[in-house]
Structure 1
């Protein structure tokens, strides 16, 4: 019997290699991990920083179809684990029946989510403040990263994570999510009524500025009382960096425990 595949999907401003520790842990627990980057993403952080144009203009549908093609080549439907916009993409793949289970960590808001806290607006301001960024790749400064990702960390750890993992990312997904509720066929839409899908776990860092807890709770409510399993786990005192900071293992271990319960 082959090890069950687990597919990791990163979000904006983090390189695919930021899943390295998770991949090693899941491999030790009997999974076959994959952490491919977004379409066109260079293979290293350094190369991605030198070539921001490689991902400029990518939208939610482009990235979703990229991962759908990867899944089509796997021996079995994977568990999909995504962070931020990767969490939104995880929900889209799960709703399409392409994953056997999904974990969306601090997921970017899907269509139908109404709360728009100030912290979320401020986190997205480096992109949304300029409409031309819809066609560009945008980088965060260390200060912007500290507010959006590292606000629950001390300045040194936030700076270390910025140096190690951040890359330029396309602005288009932020615009697509921001205007989802005003767009008829928004790429941020997810079929939350699909009762035939696999189990879904939503995870929230309750100090998150980029995807505040109220946003993740609103996503959870959109799934209503559907027969398919939908669970919510909140981590107090954790921000948007919870998959890469010094507390990552507590989040990963909870995911493993949840998968053991729902498998």
Structure 2
């Protein structure tokens, strides 16, 4: 557990219509800001208590040890610590690596529901990592991608093709890339590759699985496999890249989550 209090962005309050809080978990290199640009206000305005945390070493959250020593269990502990501070167990909503963290959290913590947004599959990210490395092999050779993965993922062209699609306005891509921060190489290149994979059979909460047609990281087939593992069907959004909460058309993603939660949490 992280001894110091984690940094969170907290908006809205519970209402009779939406009594269950929402806990948003960001992906690799990102922070709570990726939810704050659009999603937190959207859900707060609709009567939800919406909370986004910064995992340790991200945003304003403390870094108690070198970032490359952090494990996926540290991140699961962060989610648990923030969830425990809420009045009732929250709906856990995770993006990309944060979706994997949510899957690990769900295997050992009760939750009323969960949403996986362009999430890493329960079987890990080895195929996706190889695809991205092959696509940008020149940048991979020029950067210290294994010890400082941010050097690679923030490199010119890599951020756009991984997190967005070709038609995304430059200002959106540049605003995201400028806010990317360091990430744990241990989490990306050990835990999520082969060491500590998810356990869908241990998860009892209903799970909504959302994917992006033009995701530069996870393919539609991988999204479908994730949904199958959680005994559901995927919902794919056309014309969107990996950062579905920041892409143009993010409202359609938020609308779908809102409708699904309203139906599931009656």
TM-score for the superposition, normalised by structure 2: 0.78
1:45-92 residue CA offsets vs partner (Å, 9 max, x unmatched) = xxx9xx9x8633322111111111221222101011110011111222
Deviation at 1:143, TM superposition (A): 1.4
- Counterpart contact for 1:80–1:90, Cα < 8 Å: yes
Please list every run of 5 or more consecutive structure 1 residues that lacks an aligned counterpart in the other structure: 181-185, 225-229
Deviation at 1:38, TM superposition (A): 0.8
- Counterpart contact for 1:6–1:33, Cα < 8 Å: yes
The answer to whether the aligner puts 1:189 opposite 2:198 as a matched pair is yes
What's the counterpart of residue 228 of structure 2? 221
After alignment, is 58-67 or 250-259 more displaced?
Answer: 58-67
What's the counterpart of residue 183 of structure 1? none
Question: Which residue of the other structure, out of 193, 196, 206, is the alignment partner of 1:179?
Answer: 193
Instruction: Give the Cα–Cα distance (whole angstroms) in 2 for the partners of residues 62 and 99 of structure 1.
Output: 19
Deviation at 1:239, TM superposition (A): 0.9
- Counterpart contact for 1:124–1:174, Cα < 8 Å: no
In 2 relative to 1, CA 213–124 (structure 1 residues): closer, same or farther, beyond 3 Å? farther
Instruction: Give the Cα–Cα distance (whole angstroms) in 2 for the partners of residues 121 and 137 of structure 1.
Output: 11
What's the counterpart of residue 60 of structure 1? 72
How many residues get paired? 245
In 2 relative to 1, CA 129–101 (structure 1 residues): closer, same or farther, beyond 3 Å? farther
Deviation at 1:37, TM superposition (A): 0.4
Matches within 5 A, 1:87-166: 87-111=99-123, 119-122=131-134, 136=148, 138-139=150-151, 140-154=154-168, 156-163=170-177, 165-166=179-180
TM-score for the superposition, normalised by structure 1: 0.79
The answer to whether the aligner puts 1:206 opposite 2:242 as a matched pair is no
Instruction: Give the Cα–Cα distance (whole angstroms) in 2 for the partners of residues 127 and 41 of structure 1.
Output: 24
What's the counterpart of residue 239 of structure 2? 237
1:188-215 residue CA offsets vs partner (Å, 9 max, x unmatched) = 222x1236x2210111101111112111
Give SS of 1:237's match.
coil
In 2 relative to 1, CA 98–152 (structure 1 residues): closer, same or farther, beyond 3 Å? farther
Give SS of 1:138's match.
helix
Matches within 5 A, 1:42-81: 42-43=59-60, 55-81=67-93
Instruction: Give the Cα–Cα distance (whole angstroms) in 2 for the partners of residues 116 and 167 of structure 1.
Output: 20
Give SS of 2:234's match.
strand
In 2 relative to 1, CA 70–125 (structure 1 residues): closer, same or farther, beyond 3 Å? farther
